[in-house]
Amino acid sequence: MFSASLWQLVLVASSFLVVAATNPTRVSRYVEKRNNDGPPSNFVTTENGQFVVNGSAITFIGTNVYWLSVLNADEDVDNVFGNMSAAGINLVRAWAFNDVEAIPENGTWFQLISNGTLSINNGTNGLQKLDKIVQSAQDHGIYLVFSLTNNWNPTISSTVGPFQIASRTNSNSTTLPRNFLSNDYGGMDTYVRQFVKDQQHDQFYTDENIINAFKNYTTQVVSRYVNSPAIMGWELANDPRCNSTLPAGSLCTTTTVTQWHSTLAQHVKSVDPNHLVTSGNQGFFCADCPKLFQKTTPPPPPPPPQTSPAPGQRRRSIPVLTKASLLQEQRDMQKKRKRSADGIRVRGRWVASHTRRQEDVGVGPAFDGSQGVDSEDILSIPQIGFGTFQLFPDQDTYGFDDPSLSPFDNVVQIGTNWIQRQAAAGQRTGKPVSLTGFGLVTQDNAPDFVPFNSSVAPLQSDPVSATSFGVTDDQRDQAYTQWLSTGISGGLSAMLQYQWSQQGLTTQAGTTVSPVQNESGVVPISDTSGVSPNDGYGIQGVGQAEAQGVLQTASQSVARQG
């Protein structure tokens, strides 16, 4: 229950925290060329660090629906888009890949990757599923950002006869269907497993055969929608980095991952010059990493404005992120820090644990390049049209705790700071930036929470943690409201909650949306009793209306601004 007036308060309170909004007169170094050969005006382009449609700047408020392609009926797809449209959503991020290593008996699959060979499924349980999504999105006036592969694919699949059996369990140790989890759609490690012998994750970025195979897949998918106005952009990969379930080779660095982005962004742009291309990375910074594309000397100061800026539009230069500035920030925080040790978050309280002290972690994994990601260098690649980052405080760390704040307030504040840092990076580069996924695990969702490098819910075997992990629904809504308003007033161009939930879906045995037995063990007769998968971030059940209301309020606020 989050009222409109509280939203207003947050909006007002956060507006003075953030860097002044993008200066509309600033000329970008990377403005998309818009000439007579350019895409039609209802396609999404960029100008002056903003997305533009029909000649006007647009801010997207949206959500993630990775399971759209596994729905069993076309009406389900239309119902999901109808419900999202009713909630004010105008951008949806979804998976445009579904790799298998053996053809499954039931369900959707797009590409068979087997022993170094590829074959595409363009049938009704193949790419025609994507065609339906694109059509329905267009019918509902919703844009799509399609991800082309995933960093994460921890499934240990076994092949029994002709069928692929996934080892996945939910909180009751029952086997989950294929494609239930976001990391069960194939991805980089599928290519590596099927193409090379001594397997390291980063061979995906460097092995010539794999690069060609992935280029082949992207060509097949991207060329299908070159002329579709429903595509907002192509995301090269979800969360690309050196490591995954397969380990990283010792040679993988940020430049490995950046170089791959450049190669693939050029390829996708050559197949589809009409749509934007982006990374999909988590937004990790590396101030001290060697750069391939980023100009490390700051650009010359812009000419003084002709007229004095409007109040609230105060010009402010965006300092380049350095290791020294990060360490200074950390020392300032440590001064505030009393004797508090690190802890793990349990129902909004900290439980002390002495496994790691913040003093020892340098600038931290979001800033030191240790994941193999330098988001600013990637954003500086000419063919990368906009920036991406993610915000999942239950799984990644994005900054340093302020000991004077409560644990929950720290989660909110660190997220707010992360959003502001990313908006500033966009302004330094002159490109729009999108928060492509943000989410908090709630107490109700904790038993179903499966981290992105896992195929089992870890809390299921620990009933005590399972009942004490996570925030309340109300805290989730407060955090989402704060982050959305910070992003809107700070100049982010898109913000997508993770993830949408939907009831009333058509069930089919052996597919992701399977019939569920009720308490008497009988499979319910109704074939529209299906619910969408929940990996711990779904907003179904208790609090669903309120969580959707947060998104709706944000979209109304954006509409008022525009």
- Provide the binding-site residues for ligand NAG, judged by CB under 6 A: 42, 53-54, 58, 79, 82-83, 86, 105-106, 115-116, 118-120, 122, 141, 154, 163, 170-172, 212-213, 216, 242-243, 245, 248, 252, 370-372, 448, 453, 502-504, 508-510, 518-520, 522, 524-525
197: tokens are 């012998």
Nearest to ligand NAG of 181, 412 (CB atom): 181
Nearest approach in angstroms of CB 140 to ligand NAG is 8
The backbone torsions φ and ψ at residue 377, rounded to the nearest 5 degrees and listed phi first, read -70, -40
**Whether 272 contacts 226, CB under 8 Å:** yes
Q: Cα–Cα distance between 550 and 4 in angstroms, integer?
A: 9
492 phi-psi bin (left φ>0, alpha ψ -120 to 50, beta other): beta
The residue number whose beta carbon is nearest to ligand NAG equals 82
DSSP secondary structure code for residue 173 in this structure: S
Q: What angle do CA 251, 254, 256 make, to 5 degrees?
A: 55
Nearest approach in angstroms of CB 373 to ligand NAG is 8
Nearest approach in angstroms of CB 511 to ligand NAG is 7
Q: Please name which of 84, 122, 238 lies closest in space to residue 551, comparing C-alpha atoms.
A: 84
Nearest approach in angstroms of CB 501 to ligand NAG is 10
- Residue 69 pairs in a beta bridge with none
Nearest to ligand NAG of 171, 482 (CB atom): 171
Nearest to ligand NAG of 194, 388 (CB atom): 194
Nearest approach in angstroms of CB 194 to ligand NAG is 9
Nearest to ligand NAG of 83, 468 (CB atom): 83
77: tokens are 């797809």
Report in angstroms the alpha-carbon separations of 147 from 96, 97, 112: 6, 7, 18
The backbone torsions φ and ψ at residue 38, rounded to the nearest 5 degrees and listed phi first, read -70, 175
Q: Cα–Cα distance between 33 and 482 in angstroms, integer?
A: 35
66: tokens are 């990775």
Nearest to ligand NAG of 46, 79 (CB atom): 79
DSSP calls for 122-154 = -STTTHHHHHHHHHHHHHTT-EEEEE--BS---
Nearest approach in angstroms of CB 454 to ligand NAG is 7
Residue whose structure tokens are 């820090």: 337
Non-local CB neighbours of 515 within 8 Å, separated by 6+ positions:
507, 508, 509, 523, 524, 527, 529, 530
Residue whose structure tokens are 């449609």: 53
Nearest to ligand NAG of 89, 424 (CB atom): 89
Nearest to ligand NAG of 122, 406 (CB atom): 122
Nearest approach in angstroms of CB 163 to ligand NAG is 5
Nearest approach in angstroms of CB 542 to ligand NAG is 13
User: What does the longest C-alpha to C-alpha distance in the chain come to?
Assistant: 74
Nearest to ligand NAG of 82, 343 (CB atom): 82
Q: Cα–Cα distance between 183 and 172 in angstroms, integer?
A: 19
Nearest to ligand NAG of 213, 496 (CB atom): 213
DSSP secondary structure code for residue 9 in this structure: H
Q: Cα–Cα distance between 70 and 225 in angstroms, integer?
A: 19
Nearest approach in angstroms of CB 337 to ligand NAG is 24
Nearest approach in angstroms of CB 519 to ligand NAG is 4
- Residue 472 pairs in a beta bridge with none
Nearest to ligand NAG of 113, 433 (CB atom): 113
